[in-house]
Structures are given as C-alpha cells and as structure tokens.
Amino acid sequence: MMEKMIIGRYIPVESPLHRMDPRAKLMIVFLFVCIVFLANNAITYGILAVYTFLMVFASKVPFRYIMGGLKIVFWLILFTMILHLFLTKEGDILFQWGWFTVYEGGLRQGIFISMRFFLLILMTSLLTLTTTPIEITDGLEELLGPLKKFKFPVHELALMMSISLRFIPTLMDETDKIMKAQTARGVDFSGGTIKERINSIIPLLIPLFISSFKRAEELAVAMEARGYRGGEGRTKYRLLQWSLLDTGMLILLALVTLLLAVFRM
Amino acid sequence: MDISLQQVEYRYQVNSPFEHLALEDVSIDIPSGTYLAIIGHTGSGKSTILQHLNAILKPTKGKVIIGDQEVTNAKKQKNLKSIRKKVGIVFQFPEHQLFEETVEKDICFGPMNFGVSESEAKRRAREAILQVGLSEEILAKSPFDLSGGQMRRVAIAGVLAMEPDVIVLDEPTAGLDPRGRKEIMDMFYRLHKDRNLSTILVTHSMEDAALYADQIVVMHQGKVFKKGSPREIFQSPVGLMELGLDVPEVVRFQNKLEDTFHVKFSKTCVTLEELTEEIHRLFKKVGELT
C-alpha cells in the first residue's frame, strides 16, 4: 500500500549523478535551494526547469517513476496554488464568479510558487534517489567538518541523519505490514467518514511507535556491543573522491546562477 | 467455505524499477474443511498467496474465488469486509499488531469492527483467551506488560475471536520455544477439527506440514512446484532436496533405514506413530524368519 512512496529511497542504477561525490551533490542541492528564490519571471523559471529536467535525465531514474512517487506532494502543490489564487489580489481581474475573483497577479504567483515548490522537491528527491544514505552522511560530515572547532556535534548530527534516512524504508515496510494486519481485523483505511478514518489511524500508529522504540533500543545496544563510542578518533573506511565531473557540475550550476541573475527582473 | 485460486499472477510495484513477479500461474483449490500447508523457501511466494486469501492483495491476473465472491484485478469492490470477516489471518509475528490498553479490548477489536456487539465480543474474548491457553486474569492487563509468548497468544486470540470459517496462519510459531510451538500447533489442529474450519498453514517446518496437513503445496520461485498429500509429497525427497527443502525427520530416518538394511517399507511414513508401527512390523517379520 505504501510501496509507491519514493521519499528517502535509493535507486541503484549506473548514472553520472550516481557517480558524483556526495559533497558536490549536497553543495549543488543547497545552492539550488538558494537560487530558486532568484527566479521571478517566466524566463528564469524556464531556465530552472530546464536545468532540473536535465538533472533528472542525467540520473537515469525513470521520470514516470519519480512522478508516481510524488503524487502525494502534488496535492500540497495544488493546495498552495489554490491558496494563492484566493489570497493574492494584484493586477487585473481575470474573471469573476460570484464572490470569487481571480486576479492576474494571483494566477501568476500561484503558478510560480507551485513551480518553485515542485522544482525544489524534484531536486531534493534526486539527491536521495541517486545517493545512498551512507554517502549523504559522509558528505555532510565532511562538509560540516570545520564546525567541529566550535564544538558543534557534527558527527552526532550526521549519525542521526543517516539513521533516520536508513529507517525510512524500514518504517514504510512496517507500516505496510501493520496496515495489512489491521485490515485483516476489519479496519478500513481507505473508506468511511472522517471520524472513522482518524480512528483507524490509532491501531496503526501505536504499534508503529512501539516497534520504533524497541528498534531504537536494539540498535543502540548493537552499536555499543560493536564498540561504538562516538566520533572521537574514529577512522573512515570509505574515502570520498572528488572528480572532474563534480567540478563540472558545480560550474554548470554557477552558469545557471549567472543566467538567473542576468534574466531576472 | 471453499477457496479457489485460478491462474493467479501477482506483480509487486508495477511500473517501477522494483517491479517483480511474485506469483505466476498459481492454481490451488481449498475445499471447505481442508488443512492445507504451503511450504517453500523465503521468497517463493508463500506469503503473497496468503494475502490473496482475504483480498488484501488482488491478483494482477487470474482470479481468487472466496466462498461466493470473486476477487479480480478489474473492479473496485465494496464488500471485501464480508470476506475478511470469514477469513482470519494470523500474520507473522502477530504481536506487532497489538495496540489497545487492555488485552480484552484488543481481542474485542476485530469482532467489533465486524459489527459484533460489545457484550458478545467480551464473551468471545473470554473464550478465545482460554483457547490459547492463557487465564482470564490476563484480560485486564496491558498487552505490553506481557512476555513475548503471551503477546503472541493474545494476538492469536484476537483473530480467533472473529470466529472465522477459514483460518490462515503465517509461521504462527516462529520464534517460540519448542513447547509453546507444539501447544499452539495442537490448539489450531483441535480448532480445525472441532469447528470444521479450513486451515491454511504457511510454514518452514516440514514436521508440522507432515503432521497436521491433509494437503501440501510446495512453492518454488512463485510457481506451484508440487501438490499432494503429505505422503505423496515426501515419497520422493530428491526433488524437494534439490530445491533446498528438507523432508521430515521421520522420512529421512526411514530412507536411511531402508538404505542401510536393504529393506522396503510398505509406505512412506509421515508421522512418528506410523514409523514405529512399520518398524515393529519389520521386527516381527525378521523374528519369524529366524
């Protein structure tokens, strides 16, 4: 039932994006999140869209699969869009229908904001689709390394992140299992009134919480049994390799940023 | 209630890079009152079949007929709940589904979802808790204060209280100690006989399959590899062993005995009692000859 969700899932295929250094990918995603806000007209949004779809293409993850997995997000985007249609009152009136008026500014704002949202989600999904959780953590730990001087718990943060990412699919599977078990006991997750639906969540959430707590405890014991004592003096088994591809990708993003700066109003 | 799977195919995650075929051309008939064991390796499709038995999964091709209802891929069906009322599934590690404050409430949860009144559900809860070998005092406790074995029994009681016509068991004794194992398996067998239920058991244990089942289906890579009575299935252990499956200890012992002493028993014994009888007969024969 939950098998379509792609958030946090890694797809093992061979592609340029998969080969990239996670540090470069993290930097690109971070920069992308910043430069998305530079776009403010059709051309600049067009540039961003072209760039994003180029990246999707380079990842070799089937586009239809990504779209299928983002179905839930589309509702959110639709919601923001409608909110903007209602609440922004700028520019000429496009049409009026009773008390409901759509302004030109509202339509434009709605489209732009949804687009921004969509591109952001697409890029961040690409990161997790092409990078294993362990790579993401390694990359993040390296990138944040300098902060250790200010007593910032970089290693702990990275560990926390990798554990949460690692357990997203496990939790999904678990949810699926419990849903099936409760369905067999007569719970209807897909129908009924809103009250019934909310009630049906309880038999799902409680077992899920309990097993998560149990799992956390087991994991902690297993880690300590294998001698885990925090990041102090811990050596690395996997070393990150920066290649020409990574430099190239960063330059590409720099060019995109430049284009945005030139074409924005 | 008769259940019949007809040319069932099931694909997981259609249209994704993870798509794979879990079942292919599976046809199994389960007439009312049968005790059927499904055996096979991990990944052979056992658990996928099981989820078809109460329409949690719908076949991507073919059809499943449960009682007078037909489940296919084509249409959205509203009356699945009536199927689930009649087919109770005990999933693997069923204790993971417990969630209520008290054992009693948890056992009542299933029946009440299917429209049973509260007083009737409570009556069934008391009956079910005794059936699984626990005492009535446990009804007032929180399910999370119990031991693992007790939680398992409570979860099973939760399914029994639904009073299904067909009971489906997915490795119900995994992770239990040998005594708990035997108690639970014997309990299910008694229920099967007393209430004239259909029972479908998915298991790794060849001993359990040989001991309790009337019919065995051997699954291999999503297909039915062999069907038949325990005797038919274990008569030729070679095929099973090629799949990496075991045969019951009794059968292995008999084969060794026959090889070592160059004798042939009149039949393949699948239970300890049968084997003892055969050996006894053999001894008598040897005694008469000398």
Residue B138 — pLDDT band, cuts 50, 70, 90?
Answer: very high
Query: 92-121 in A: which are within 8 Å (CB) of B?
Result: none
Beta carbons of B159 and A178 less than 8 Å apart: no
Residue type, B56: I
Residue A67 lies in a domain: yes
Q: Among A213-217, B140-144, B166-170, B203-207, whose mean pLDDT is lowest?
A: B203-207
Given a cut of 50, whether residue A59 has pLDDT beyond it is yes
Residue A161, domain member (yes or no): no
Question: Is the pLDDT at A3 greater than 60, yes or no?
Answer: no
User: B229-245, pLDDT tens digit by residue?
Assistant: 998 888 887 888 888 88
Tell me the C-alpha to C-alpha distance, in Å, between residue A70 and each of A6, A173, A176, A179, B5. Answer: 7, 18, 18, 21, 34
Q: Which tokens sit at B35?
A: 């005790």
Could you tell me if residue A40 is inside a domain?
yes
Residue in chain A closest to B116 (alpha carbons) equals A186
| Residue-level pLDDT at B239 | 82
Residue B224 — φ and ψ, nearest 5°? -75, 120
- pLDDT over 90 (residue A195): no
A7-44 pLDDT per residue, tens: 667 888 888 888 899 999 999 999 999 999 888 888 88
Q: Does B13 touch chain A (CB under 8 A)?
A: yes
Per the DSSP assignment, residues forming a β-bridge with B40 are B219
Please report whether residue A207 resides in a domain. no
Q: What is the pLDDT of residue B141?
A: 93
Q: Domain limits at A123?
A: 1-131+239-265
Q: What's the rounded Cα separation, in Å, for the pair B39 and B170?
A: 11
Average pLDDT of the segment spanning B180-186:
91
Q: B52-104, pLDDT tens digit by residue?
A: 998 888 899 899 999 888 888 876 666 788 888 899 999 989 988 899 999 99
B99 contact residues in A (CB cutoff 8 A): 202-203, 206-207, 210
- Number of separate domains in chain A: 1
Percent of chain B, pLDDT > 90? Answer: 49
Rounded average pLDDT over A94-117? 81
Q: What tokens were used for B281?
A: 């007969």
> Does A198 score more than 80 pLDDT?
yes
pLDDT for A155 beyond 90: no
The pLDDT value given to residue B139? 93
Decide if A152 is inside a domain: no
- Write down the mean pLDDT value for chain A: 85
Nearest-Cα residue of chain B relative to residue A209: B99
Of A38-42, A132-136, B257-261, B285-289, which range is least confident? Answer: B285-289
Is A88 part of a structural domain of the chain?
A: yes
- Name the nearest CA neighbour of A207 among B97, B146, B159, B109: B97
Alpha-carbon distance values, A111 to A26, A39, A75, A124 (Å): 27, 13, 14, 20
Single-letter amino acid code for the residue at B119: S
Run of H or E residues at A42? helix A42-59
A234, part of any domain: no
CB atoms A65 and B110 under 8 Å: no
- Distance (Å) of CA A263 to CA A43, A50, A104, B249: 7, 15, 22, 79
Residues in CB range of A95: below 8 A, 6 or more apart: A101, A102
Sign of CA dihedral B81, B85, B90, B94: positive
Is A186 within 8 Å of B54 when comparing Cβ atoms?
no
Which residues of chain A have a CB within 8 Å of the CB of B158? 185
Residue A7 pLDDT = 66
The percentage of residues in chain B with a pLDDT greater than 70, rounded to a whole number, is: 98
Q: Is the ipTM of this complex over 0.90?
A: no
Q: Does A197 touch chain B (CB under 8 A)?
A: no
What is the pLDDT at residue A1? 41
Chain A CB contacts of B97 under 8 Å are 178, 181-182, 185, 203, 207
pLDDT above 90: residue B158: yes
pLDDT digits (tens, 9 = 90+) for B95-116: 888 999 999 999 999 999 998 9
pLDDT on residue B169: 94
**Closest by Cβ to B99, choosing from A3, A13, A203:** A203
In a domain, A6, yes or no: yes
Residues 6+ apart with CB under 8 A from A256: A35, A47, A48, A51
- Which pLDDT does position A6 carry in this prediction? 66
Q: Report how far residue A121's alpha carbon sits from residue B228's, in angstroms, rounded to the nearest whole number.
A: 54
pLDDT score for B109: 93
Q: Which residues in chain B have Cβ-Cβ distances shorter than 8 Å to A13?
A: 17
The Cβ-side half-sphere exposure at B258, using a 13 Å CA radius, reads 14
- Between B25-29, B63-67, B88-92, B281-285, the lowest mean confidence (pLDDT) is in B281-285
Residue A2 in this model has a pLDDT that exceeds 70: no
Q: Which chain B residue shows the shortest CA-CA distance from A182?
A: B97
- CA A227 – CA A221 distance, rounded (Å): 10
How far is residue B112's CA from residue B272's CA, in Å, rounded to a whole number?
42
Distance of alpha carbon B110 from alpha carbon B123, whole angstroms: 13
Tell me how many degrees the CA angle A70-A75-A77 measures, rounded to the nearest 5: 85
